Protein backbone atom coordinates (compact mmCIF):
# COMPACT_ATOMS: atom_id res chain seq x y z
CA UNK A 1 0.00 0.00 0.00
CA UNK A 2 2.71 2.47 1.08
CA UNK A 3 4.81 1.62 -1.98
CA UNK A 4 1.88 2.24 -4.32
CA UNK A 5 1.16 5.57 -2.65
CA UNK A 6 4.82 6.54 -2.95
CA UNK A 7 4.82 5.74 -6.68
CA UNK A 8 1.68 7.83 -7.15
CA UNK A 9 3.21 10.73 -5.26
CA UNK A 10 6.47 10.53 -7.24
CA UNK A 11 4.55 10.47 -10.50
CA UNK A 12 2.58 13.58 -9.59
CA UNK A 13 5.59 15.48 -8.22
CA UNK A 14 7.59 14.46 -11.26
CA UNK A 15 5.50 16.79 -13.43
CA UNK A 16 7.09 19.65 -11.46
CA UNK A 17 10.58 18.19 -11.60
CA UNK A 18 10.56 17.31 -7.89
CA UNK A 19 11.95 14.03 -6.63
CA UNK A 20 11.29 12.12 -3.44
CA UNK A 21 14.58 11.78 -1.53
CA UNK A 22 16.42 13.57 -4.34
CA UNK A 23 19.44 15.85 -4.02
CA UNK A 24 18.08 19.18 -5.30
CA UNK A 25 17.06 21.86 -2.74
CA UNK A 26 13.42 21.63 -3.82
CA UNK A 27 13.28 17.84 -3.50
CA UNK A 28 11.57 16.38 -0.44
CA UNK A 29 13.09 14.00 2.11
CA UNK A 30 10.61 11.53 3.57
CA UNK A 31 11.14 10.57 7.23
CA UNK A 32 7.86 8.75 7.78
CA UNK A 33 5.97 6.92 5.00
CA UNK A 34 2.65 7.78 6.64
CA UNK A 35 2.95 11.14 4.87
CA UNK A 36 1.55 9.65 1.65
CA UNK A 37 -1.65 8.46 3.28
CA UNK A 38 -2.03 11.72 5.20
CA UNK A 39 -1.93 13.71 1.98
CA UNK A 40 -4.33 11.29 0.29
CA UNK A 41 -6.86 11.50 3.14
CA UNK A 42 -6.34 15.11 4.27
CA UNK A 43 -5.15 17.01 1.17
CA UNK A 44 -3.17 20.25 1.60
CA UNK A 45 -3.82 20.25 5.36
CA UNK A 46 -2.28 16.79 5.58
CA UNK A 47 0.76 18.00 3.63
CA UNK A 48 1.19 20.93 6.03
CA UNK A 49 0.59 19.02 9.25
CA UNK A 50 2.91 16.18 8.21
CA UNK A 51 5.65 18.78 7.64
CA UNK A 52 4.90 20.33 11.04
CA UNK A 53 5.20 16.85 12.60
CA UNK A 54 8.57 16.24 10.94
CA UNK A 55 7.38 13.55 8.53
CA UNK A 56 9.20 15.24 5.63
CA UNK A 57 11.69 18.01 4.95
CA UNK A 58 12.76 20.27 2.11
CA UNK A 59 15.75 22.64 1.94
CA UNK A 60 13.87 25.22 -0.13
CA UNK A 61 10.16 25.13 0.63
CA UNK A 62 9.63 28.34 -1.35
CA UNK A 63 11.03 26.69 -4.51
CA UNK A 64 9.07 23.51 -3.81
CA UNK A 65 5.80 25.45 -3.67
CA UNK A 66 6.71 27.62 -6.64
CA UNK A 67 7.23 24.50 -8.76
CA UNK A 68 4.14 22.57 -7.68
CA UNK A 69 1.92 25.64 -8.06
CA UNK A 70 3.44 26.54 -11.43
CA UNK A 71 2.60 23.07 -12.75
CA UNK A 72 -0.72 23.03 -10.88
CA UNK A 73 0.28 19.89 -9.02
CA UNK A 74 -2.09 20.92 -6.23
CA UNK A 75 -5.00 20.50 -8.66
CA UNK A 76 -3.72 17.12 -9.86
CA UNK A 77 -3.38 15.96 -6.26
CA UNK A 78 -6.91 17.17 -5.50
CA UNK A 79 -8.25 14.92 -8.25
CA UNK A 80 -6.64 11.96 -6.49
CA UNK A 81 -8.12 12.63 -3.07
CA UNK A 82 -10.53 10.10 -1.65
CA UNK A 83 -14.25 10.79 -1.57
CA UNK A 84 -14.37 11.55 2.16
CA UNK A 85 -11.73 14.29 1.88
CA UNK A 86 -13.46 15.86 -1.13
CA UNK A 87 -16.71 16.00 0.89
CA UNK A 88 -14.86 17.73 3.76
CA UNK A 89 -13.44 20.36 1.41
CA UNK A 90 -16.84 20.90 -0.21
CA UNK A 91 -18.50 21.29 3.19
CA UNK A 92 -15.88 23.86 4.21
CA UNK A 93 -16.44 25.92 1.06
CA UNK A 94 -20.21 25.82 1.56
CA UNK A 95 -19.75 26.94 5.19
CA UNK A 96 -17.55 29.85 4.06
CA UNK A 97 -20.11 30.94 1.49
CA UNK A 98 -23.24 30.59 3.63
CA UNK A 99 -22.03 31.84 7.02
CA UNK A 100 -20.41 35.17 7.88
CA UNK A 101 -17.12 34.01 9.37
CA UNK A 102 -15.93 37.60 9.89
CA UNK A 103 -18.72 39.13 11.96
CA UNK A 104 -17.77 41.42 14.86
CA UNK A 105 -17.75 38.66 17.50
CA UNK A 106 -15.63 36.32 15.35
CA UNK A 107 -13.26 39.08 14.18
CA UNK A 108 -11.54 39.03 17.60
CA UNK A 109 -10.48 35.40 17.05
CA UNK A 110 -7.73 36.23 14.55
CA UNK A 111 -6.41 38.92 16.88
CA UNK A 112 -5.94 36.49 19.74
CA UNK A 113 -4.85 33.51 17.65
CA UNK A 114 -2.33 35.17 15.34
CA UNK A 115 -1.47 38.78 16.20
CA UNK A 116 -1.31 38.08 19.94
CA UNK A 117 1.20 35.27 19.30
CA UNK A 118 3.91 37.44 20.85
CA UNK A 119 5.25 40.91 20.08
CA UNK A 120 8.85 39.80 20.53
CA UNK A 121 8.49 37.26 17.73
CA UNK A 122 7.35 40.01 15.36
CA UNK A 123 10.03 42.42 16.60
CA UNK A 124 12.72 39.92 15.61
CA UNK A 125 11.08 38.95 12.32
CA UNK A 126 9.98 42.32 10.93
CA UNK A 127 11.80 45.53 9.98
CA UNK A 128 12.55 48.39 12.34
CA UNK A 129 9.20 50.06 11.53
CA UNK A 130 7.32 46.85 12.42
CA UNK A 131 5.54 46.44 9.11
CA UNK A 132 3.65 43.15 8.85
CA UNK A 133 2.73 43.73 5.21
CA UNK A 134 4.49 43.83 1.83
CA UNK A 135 7.52 46.07 1.36
CA UNK A 136 8.24 48.06 -1.81
CA UNK A 137 11.55 46.96 -3.32
CA UNK A 138 11.57 49.11 -6.48
CA UNK A 139 14.60 51.15 -5.34
CA UNK A 140 15.33 49.31 -2.09
CA UNK A 141 18.03 46.79 -1.25
CA UNK A 142 17.07 45.87 2.31
CA UNK A 143 13.86 45.05 4.14
CA UNK A 144 14.13 48.25 6.20
CA UNK A 145 14.50 50.33 3.04
CA UNK A 146 11.61 48.52 1.31
CA UNK A 147 9.20 49.04 4.20
CA UNK A 148 10.06 52.71 4.58
CA UNK A 149 9.62 53.12 0.82
CA UNK A 150 6.19 51.47 1.09
CA UNK A 151 5.12 53.83 3.87
CA UNK A 152 6.29 56.91 1.99
CA UNK A 153 4.61 55.68 -1.20
CA UNK A 154 1.29 55.42 0.65
CA UNK A 155 1.66 58.90 2.14
CA UNK A 156 2.40 60.38 -1.27
CA UNK A 157 -0.45 58.50 -2.97
CA UNK A 158 -3.01 59.98 -0.58
CA UNK A 159 -1.34 63.40 -0.71
CA UNK A 160 -0.92 63.85 3.04
CA UNK A 161 -0.72 67.43 4.32
CA UNK A 162 0.13 68.69 7.85
CA UNK A 163 -2.89 68.85 10.14
CA UNK A 164 -4.94 66.22 8.35
CA UNK A 165 -6.82 63.60 10.38
CA UNK A 166 -6.08 60.07 9.18
CA UNK A 167 -7.75 56.75 10.04
CA UNK A 168 -5.59 53.61 9.89
CA UNK A 169 -7.90 50.58 9.82
CA UNK A 170 -5.95 47.60 11.08
CA UNK A 171 -3.02 49.67 12.33
CA UNK A 172 -0.94 46.68 13.40
CA UNK A 173 2.06 47.66 15.50
CA UNK A 174 1.64 51.36 14.66
CA UNK A 175 4.30 51.63 11.96
CA UNK A 176 2.26 53.69 9.49
CA UNK A 177 0.81 55.88 12.23
CA UNK A 178 4.29 56.64 13.57
CA UNK A 179 5.74 57.33 10.11
CA UNK A 180 2.87 59.56 8.96
CA UNK A 181 2.79 61.55 12.20
CA UNK A 182 6.58 62.03 12.21
CA UNK A 183 7.19 62.76 8.54
CA UNK A 184 3.93 64.39 7.45
CA UNK A 185 2.74 66.00 10.71
CA UNK A 186 -0.75 64.50 10.61
CA UNK A 187 -3.01 63.20 13.38
CA UNK A 188 -3.59 59.43 13.14
CA UNK A 189 -6.28 57.29 14.73
CA UNK A 190 -5.17 53.65 14.52
CA UNK A 191 -7.56 50.78 15.25
CA UNK A 192 -6.68 47.12 15.77
CA UNK A 193 -8.47 44.06 17.13
CA UNK A 194 -5.28 42.80 18.80
CA UNK A 195 -4.63 43.74 22.43
CA UNK A 196 -0.93 42.88 22.06
CA UNK A 197 -0.54 45.04 18.97
CA UNK A 198 -2.27 47.97 20.67
CA UNK A 199 0.06 47.79 23.68
CA UNK A 200 3.09 47.83 21.41
CA UNK A 201 1.72 50.54 19.09
CA UNK A 202 0.96 52.92 21.97
CA UNK A 203 4.57 52.72 23.16
CA UNK A 204 5.92 52.83 19.60
CA UNK A 205 4.02 56.05 18.85
CA UNK A 206 4.51 57.74 22.22
CA UNK A 207 4.96 61.51 22.00
CA UNK A 208 3.28 61.77 18.58
CA UNK A 209 -0.21 62.91 17.55
CA UNK A 210 -1.38 59.29 17.41
CA UNK A 211 -4.27 57.55 19.15
CA UNK A 212 -4.35 53.74 19.18
CA UNK A 213 -7.60 51.94 19.92
CA UNK A 214 -8.67 48.31 20.29
CA UNK A 215 -11.74 48.70 18.11
CA UNK A 216 -13.51 47.10 15.16
CA UNK A 217 -13.86 49.31 12.08
CA UNK A 218 -17.63 48.88 12.31
CA UNK A 219 -17.63 50.76 15.63
CA UNK A 220 -16.06 54.04 14.38
CA UNK A 221 -18.15 57.18 13.85
CA UNK A 222 -15.79 60.18 13.23
CA UNK A 223 -14.92 61.90 9.94
CA UNK A 224 -11.44 61.74 8.42
CA UNK A 225 -9.48 63.54 5.69
CA UNK A 226 -7.74 60.32 4.69
CA UNK A 227 -8.21 56.61 5.36
CA UNK A 228 -5.70 53.79 4.90
CA UNK A 229 -6.08 50.06 5.38
CA UNK A 230 -2.79 48.20 5.05
CA UNK A 231 -3.00 44.40 5.12
CA UNK A 232 -6.33 44.24 6.95
CA UNK A 233 -8.87 43.73 4.15
CA UNK A 234 -7.90 40.04 3.94
CA UNK A 235 -9.82 39.58 7.21
CA UNK A 236 -13.02 41.36 6.12
CA UNK A 237 -14.67 38.48 4.22
CA UNK A 238 -16.71 38.70 1.01
CA UNK A 239 -20.02 38.89 2.90
CA UNK A 240 -18.80 42.15 4.46
CA UNK A 241 -17.14 43.83 1.44
CA UNK A 242 -20.06 46.10 0.53
CA UNK A 243 -20.63 47.03 4.16
CA UNK A 244 -16.90 47.74 4.62
CA UNK A 245 -16.92 50.28 1.78
CA UNK A 246 -20.27 51.74 2.87
CA UNK A 247 -18.83 52.38 6.33
CA UNK A 248 -15.54 53.83 5.07
CA UNK A 249 -17.49 56.09 2.72
CA UNK A 250 -19.36 57.53 5.70
CA UNK A 251 -16.12 58.03 7.63
CA UNK A 252 -14.35 59.85 4.78
CA UNK A 253 -14.81 63.57 4.13
CA UNK A 254 -16.22 64.54 0.72
CA UNK A 255 -12.84 65.47 -0.77
CA UNK A 256 -10.93 62.68 0.99
CA UNK A 257 -8.87 59.77 -0.32
CA UNK A 258 -8.84 56.14 0.78
CA UNK A 259 -5.93 53.78 0.09
CA UNK A 260 -6.54 50.04 0.33
CA UNK A 261 -3.43 47.84 0.48
CA UNK A 262 -4.41 44.18 0.22
CA UNK A 263 -3.38 40.71 -0.89
CA UNK A 264 -5.70 39.37 -3.59
CA UNK A 265 -6.44 36.34 -5.74
CA UNK A 266 -6.75 36.09 -9.49
CA UNK A 267 -10.15 34.41 -9.29
CA UNK A 268 -13.21 34.95 -7.11
CA UNK A 269 -13.39 32.26 -4.44
CA UNK A 270 -15.12 31.97 -1.10
CA UNK A 271 -12.65 30.10 1.09
CA UNK A 272 -8.97 30.08 2.02
CA UNK A 273 -6.46 27.25 2.20
CA UNK A 274 -7.39 24.89 5.10
CA UNK A 275 -3.87 25.16 6.62
CA UNK A 276 -3.96 28.97 6.60
CA UNK A 277 -7.47 28.95 8.07
CA UNK A 278 -6.65 26.48 10.85
CA UNK A 279 -3.24 27.69 11.95
CA UNK A 280 -2.60 31.22 10.66
CA UNK A 281 -5.59 33.45 9.82
CA UNK A 282 -8.89 32.12 11.10
CA UNK A 283 -11.68 33.46 8.88
CA UNK A 284 -9.29 34.97 6.35
CA UNK A 285 -10.36 35.37 2.71
CA UNK A 286 -8.46 36.84 -0.22
CA UNK A 287 -10.53 39.07 -2.52
CA UNK A 288 -10.35 39.12 -6.30
CA UNK A 289 -10.09 42.45 -8.08
CA UNK A 290 -13.57 41.96 -9.51
CA UNK A 291 -15.01 41.41 -6.02
CA UNK A 292 -13.44 44.66 -4.83
CA UNK A 293 -14.55 46.76 -7.79
CA UNK A 294 -18.07 45.33 -7.56
CA UNK A 295 -18.24 46.11 -3.84
CA UNK A 296 -17.11 49.75 -4.26
CA UNK A 297 -19.59 50.63 -7.02
CA UNK A 298 -22.06 52.46 -4.78
CA UNK A 299 -19.49 54.05 -2.48
CA UNK A 300 -16.27 54.95 -4.30
CA UNK A 301 -14.53 55.68 -7.58
CA UNK A 302 -11.36 53.71 -8.33
CA UNK A 303 -8.59 56.21 -9.11
CA UNK A 304 -5.57 53.93 -9.24
CA UNK A 305 -4.59 50.26 -8.99
CA UNK A 306 -0.93 49.39 -8.39
CA UNK A 307 0.15 45.73 -8.40
CA UNK A 308 3.49 44.59 -6.98
CA UNK A 309 2.97 41.06 -5.65
CA UNK A 310 6.52 40.05 -6.59
CA UNK A 311 7.74 42.26 -3.76
CA UNK A 312 5.80 40.15 -1.26
CA UNK A 313 7.88 37.14 -2.28
CA UNK A 314 11.02 39.13 -1.35
CA UNK A 315 9.41 40.36 1.87
CA UNK A 316 8.47 36.86 3.01
CA UNK A 317 11.94 35.51 2.28
CA UNK A 318 13.43 38.27 4.44
CA UNK A 319 10.94 37.56 7.24
CA UNK A 320 11.80 33.86 7.18
CA UNK A 321 15.52 34.66 7.23
CA UNK A 322 15.05 36.88 10.30
CA UNK A 323 12.82 34.29 11.97
CA UNK A 324 15.36 31.48 11.51
CA UNK A 325 18.32 33.60 12.59
CA UNK A 326 16.53 34.76 15.74
CA UNK A 327 14.66 31.57 16.62
CA UNK A 328 16.67 30.73 19.75
CA UNK A 329 16.38 34.30 21.03
CA UNK A 330 12.64 34.40 20.31
CA UNK A 331 11.97 31.16 22.14
CA UNK A 332 14.19 32.08 25.10
CA UNK A 333 12.56 35.50 25.50
CA UNK A 334 9.08 33.95 25.49
CA UNK A 335 10.11 31.32 28.03
CA UNK A 336 10.08 28.43 25.59
CA UNK A 337 6.36 28.64 24.81
CA UNK A 338 7.05 27.83 21.14
CA UNK A 339 7.92 24.22 20.35
CA UNK A 340 9.60 22.79 17.25
CA UNK A 341 6.18 22.13 15.68
CA UNK A 342 5.39 25.85 15.92
CA UNK A 343 8.76 26.68 14.34
CA UNK A 344 8.08 24.36 11.39
CA UNK A 345 4.52 25.66 11.06
CA UNK A 346 5.74 29.27 10.90
CA UNK A 347 8.43 28.52 8.31
CA UNK A 348 5.91 26.55 6.25
CA UNK A 349 3.49 29.51 6.38
CA UNK A 350 6.06 32.09 5.28
CA UNK A 351 7.62 29.99 2.51
CA UNK A 352 4.46 28.50 0.99
CA UNK A 353 3.16 32.07 0.68
CA UNK A 354 6.46 33.18 -0.91
CA UNK A 355 6.10 30.45 -3.52
CA UNK A 356 2.49 31.46 -4.22
CA UNK A 357 3.45 35.11 -4.79
CA UNK A 358 6.40 34.09 -6.97
CA UNK A 359 4.24 32.06 -9.31
CA UNK A 360 1.52 34.74 -9.39
CA UNK A 361 -1.25 32.74 -7.72
CA UNK A 362 -1.80 35.64 -5.35
CA UNK A 363 -1.23 39.37 -5.82
CA UNK A 364 -0.61 42.55 -3.84
CA UNK A 365 -2.63 45.64 -4.76
CA UNK A 366 -2.68 49.24 -3.61
CA UNK A 367 -5.98 50.77 -4.66
CA UNK A 368 -6.70 54.49 -4.32
CA UNK A 369 -10.37 55.47 -3.97
CA UNK A 370 -12.36 58.69 -3.76
CA UNK A 371 -16.02 59.44 -3.25
CA UNK A 372 -18.18 59.74 -6.38
CA UNK A 373 -18.36 63.30 -7.75
CA UNK A 374 -15.46 64.37 -5.51
CA UNK A 375 -13.72 65.89 -8.56
CA UNK A 376 -10.26 64.75 -7.40
CA UNK A 377 -7.56 65.46 -9.98
CA UNK A 378 -5.51 62.38 -9.13
CA UNK A 379 -2.08 61.57 -10.57
CA UNK A 380 -0.72 58.02 -10.28
CA UNK A 381 2.47 57.67 -8.23
CA UNK A 382 4.92 54.76 -8.39
What does the alpha-carbon distance between residue 325 and residue 307 come to, in Å, rounded to a whole number? Answer: 30
> Which of these three, 98, 113, 148, is where a domain ends?
98
- Over residues 75-121, the pLDDT tens digits come to 755 554 454 544 444 444 444 444 444 455 544 554 455 555 679 99
- Over residues 297-337, the pLDDT tens digits come to 999 999 999 999 999 999 999 999 999 999 999 988 866 67
pLDDT at 293 over 70: yes
> Which of these three, 41, 71, 98, is where a domain ends?
98
> Do 115 and 255 lie in a common domain?
yes
- The count of domains in the chain is 2
Query: pTM (2 decimals)?
Result: 0.90
- Residue 182 in any domain: the answer is yes
Instruction: Give the structural domain span for 124.
Output: 104-370
65: closest CA among 8, 26, 10? 26
279: closest CA among 113, 137, 144, 165? 113
- Residue 137 in any domain: the answer is yes
pLDDT at 21 over 60: yes
When pLDDT is averaged across residues 169-191 and rounded to a whole number, the result is 98
Q: What residues pair up with 362 in beta bridges, in sequence order? A: 265
Residues assigned a catalytic role = 353
> Do 36 and 160 lie in a common domain?
no
Could you list the beta-strand ranges (E) of the chain. Answer: 28-30, 56-58, 165-169, 187-192, 210-214, 224-230, 252-265, 301-307, 362-370
pLDDT at 191 over 50: yes
pLDDT score at 81: 47
- Residue 179 in any domain: the answer is yes
What does the alpha-carbon distance between residue 192 and residue 169 come to, in Å, rounded to a whole number? Answer: 7
CATH code of the domain in which 162 resides: 3.40.50.150
- Residue 380 in any domain: the answer is no
> Do 58 and 117 lie in a common domain?
no
Judge whether 150 and 161 are in contact, CB under 8 Å.
no
Judge whether 165 and 224 are in contact, CB under 8 Å.
yes
> Do 210 and 244 lie in a common domain?
yes
pLDDT score at 113: 53
> Do 275 and 336 lie in a common domain?
yes
Amino acid sequence: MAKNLEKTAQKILGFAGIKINGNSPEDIKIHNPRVYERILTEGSLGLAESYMDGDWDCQRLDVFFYKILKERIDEKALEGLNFKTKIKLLAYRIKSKVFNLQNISRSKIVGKKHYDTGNYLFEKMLDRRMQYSCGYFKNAKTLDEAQEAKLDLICKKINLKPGMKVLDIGCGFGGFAKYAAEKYKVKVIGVTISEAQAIFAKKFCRGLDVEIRVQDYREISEKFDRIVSIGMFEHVGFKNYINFFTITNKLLKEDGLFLLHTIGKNTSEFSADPFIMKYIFSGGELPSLSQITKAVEESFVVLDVHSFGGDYDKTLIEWNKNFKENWNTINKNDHGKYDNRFKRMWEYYLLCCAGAFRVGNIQLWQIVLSKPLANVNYQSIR
